Amino acid sequence: MPDNEILEMNRSQPQAQHTGGGQGPHGVLNKRSLFDGAILRQATIDAFRKLDPRVQLKNPVMFVVLIGTVVTLIESVAHSSAFAWAVFVWLLLTVLFANFAEAMAEGRGKAQADTLRKTREHTDARRLDAGGAEHRVPAADLAVGDLVVCEAGDVIPSDGEITEGVASIDESAITGESAPVIREAGSDRSAVTGGTKVLSDRILVRISAEPGQTFLDRMINLVEGAKRQKTPNEVALTILLAALTIIFVPVVVVLQPFGIFAGASVSVIVLVALIVCLIPTTIGALLSAIGIAGMDRLVQRNVLAMSGRAVEAAGDVQTLLLDKTGTITMGNRMASTFYPVGGSSEQDLADAAQLASLADETPEGRSIVVLAKQEYGLRERELGPGHVFVPFSATTRMSGLDADGRQIRKGAADAVKRWVTEQGGSAPGELDQIVERVARAGSTPLVVSDGARVLGVVELKDVVKQGITERFEQLRSIGIRTVMITGDNPLTAAAIAQEAGVDDYLAEATPEAKLQLIKKEQEGGKLVAMTGDGTNDAPALAQADVGVAMNMGTTAAKEAGNMVDLDSNPTKLIDVVEIGKQLLITRGALTTFSIANDVAKYFAIIPALFVSTYPQLHKLNIMGLHSPQSAVLSAVIFNALVIIALIPLALRGVRFRPSSASAILRRNVLIYGLGGLIAPFIFIKLIDLILTAIGAF
């Protein structure tokens, strides 16, 4: 065994490769500039294509605006005037700006999808027939269940599970991370993705996806929004906006006969302008873009949502289930101290612990080897013929070594004590005290025995991540309850939970226990989010309202979850929740602004309708607008320009600050409610002054 401890510790962590951001120079899902020239050009073209009535019909508000635009066009041709044509142009621009907002959001996704398509390599596969003979076939001809051979330099032709072998895989085409990862048959990291490349060794892969249904294909569809469906809240808001539109249409229509009765001449152009300004065109124009942009923000974090519903559900999450290891703590429990018992020496304990760990490739096992070497000079161990390493088993909860007549075991305290009892021995009375003391300190006690004799305890320390306590405080402030999930004993779990500041914990967690916890929370009316990567996490991921599966996890986990984190970083779940809340806050803020800014338009247009017949209405012209025509046109121009002005906010989202629901509501009412009420008065007056200055009307 080499003496270089650093090299040794690096060798012990082949799986800890994908904890970074995945958005560096090698990333394929990198953040794009909001004003990317290619996207702007394509969005401009798409804005005209979306004038198709069949497309506009999906958005009731903008469909009404389109009809009004057609009516003004007809009226302008029949009774041509500069005012009529000006209103027509700005109504057309209103529809185009709405189309442009949606096209911008879609364009960002399509640009990401195009980048992904370039990473997809069409290659041949080395398929094995029933007799084991190898045949080269196009990857598109592979079916579920086919076995293919992949060696160093080969591109994996489709999604599958490794059935034999272990290999280093370059997944940069998917995740953007240049560091390779280890994939191995029979482990929770046996899933491989089509389009990734084998860097070393030889593996057999059983295909698990039909052509066109691979993970990369689904990524492309999801990123470009090809299968995006409106979320329940989005549908509800669309219905509300449609209802408001339906209400205002007859209100405006009856103004014509009312005007005739009063002896006033009411222009059709002005009526159309009034209805366009009355209905909530701002939020109607931006609603789709807000939803698409929410998914795009997730993509920028290297998280793929299977549907917009998952993003929206993340914003309503009230309970967050987080794995302790790798999420709350650093994840690499390292041996720190040897505690001998029953008259054993530290040297004896270190010697046995190291022997039992020689074949243990986990960070914990390697750290025991290194600690024994550093503290007691135990190195270059020679094992006699016939030795047998005993692998860890979830059933026995122990591992060890049988050699030279010795049966050395290390594992959980209760499991080793039971083993010792079966061998005819007994545990020293001081053992339980040391185990409890180590556990209360938040560390993990690992008991070591040699046959029927307990030698002592190895303390494994795990460190709580810096800043995680503050994150939990922020989540608590917005009403989210955090629950730590761990396989540790209750004492260790309690110590870590207290140090990290979580609200609750589930110790010695089994798949059944996780599932029951989620169901219990949901029965109380709460939405639950969790992460997972193994097949045993699949039931809980499927049950959770937001299930984020790790990309390096099993196919079962990825199929069960409704989101996939390409970086396989469990901490990302907190970011997912914040992005979901940002989506809901953005939608609510812009809806508030849209409804509030209609007030100024009423004061601009309604007096202009009947001021010639009822001069008293001039008192409602509180903005002092120059003329009825300039008042109407100023309101229509503002109604169009405000859509363009709010596109960056719709795409980027309202800034999320962790605080209570009442504080968020109060802040948004002040900014977007009061701001939406005051700003139009200022800008409509400013537009009126400009029109007057250029002598337009």
Residues recognised as catalytic:
323
**CA 73, CA 76: separation in Å to the nearest integer?**
5
393 labelled binding-site residue: yes
Q: Say if residue 392 carries a ligand binding annotation.
A: yes
Helix (H, G, I), strand (E, B) or coil at 568: coil
Is 399 annotated to bind a ligand? Reply is yes
Distance between CA atoms of residues 379 and 579, nearest Å? 50
Three-state DSSP state, 175: helix
Rounded Cα–Cα distance for residues 179 and 364 (Å): 22
DSSP letter for 338, please. Answer: E
Q: How far is CA 262 from CA 253, 255, 257, 259, 613, in A?
A: 15, 10, 9, 5, 8
β-sheet bridge partners, residue 204: 149, 164
> Is 126 annotated as a binding-site member?
no
- Residues near 220 by beta carbon (within 8 Å), at least 6 away in sequence: 113, 116, 117, 226
Instruction: Confirm whether residue 398 is marked as ligand binding.
Output: yes
8-state DSSP, 673: I
Question: Any binding-site annotation on 360?
Answer: yes
CA torsion sign for 505, 507, 511, 516 is negative
3-class secondary-structure state, position 323? strand
Task: Say whether 603 counts as a known binding-site residue.
Answer: no
Encoding tokens for residue 660? 């209570």
The C-alpha atoms of residue 594 and residue 596 are separated, in whole angstroms, by 6
> What is the helix, strand, coil percentage profile of the chain, to 5?
50, 15, 30
- C-alpha 140/C-alpha 134 separation (Å) is 17
Is 533 assigned to a binding site?
A: yes
Three-state DSSP state, 205: strand
Determine if residue 146 is labeled as part of a ligand binding site.
no
Strand order in the sheet with 191-192: 134-138, 124-128, 147-151, 202-207, 160-164, 191-192
Max alpha carbon distance in the chain (Å)?
113
296: annotated binding-site residue?
no
CB 697 within 8 A of CB 633: yes
Residue 455's beta-bridge partner residues? none
Question: At which residue do the structure tokens 């698990």 appear?
Answer: 208
- Is 364 flagged in the annotation as binding? yes
124 is known to lie in a ligand binding site: no
Inter-helix orientation angle 281-300/82-119, to 10°: 20
The answer to whether 394 is annotated as binding is: yes
- DSSP code per residue over 497-543: HHHHT-SEEE-S--HHHHHHHHHHHHHTT--EEEEE-SGGGHHHHHH
Buried b / exposed e along 333-361 (16+ C-beta atoms within 10 A): bbbeebbbbeebebebbbbbbbbbbbbbe
Annotated binding site for Mg(2+): 533, 537
Annotated binding site: 360, 364, 392-399, 410, 533, 537
Annotated binding site for ATP: 360, 364, 392-399, 410
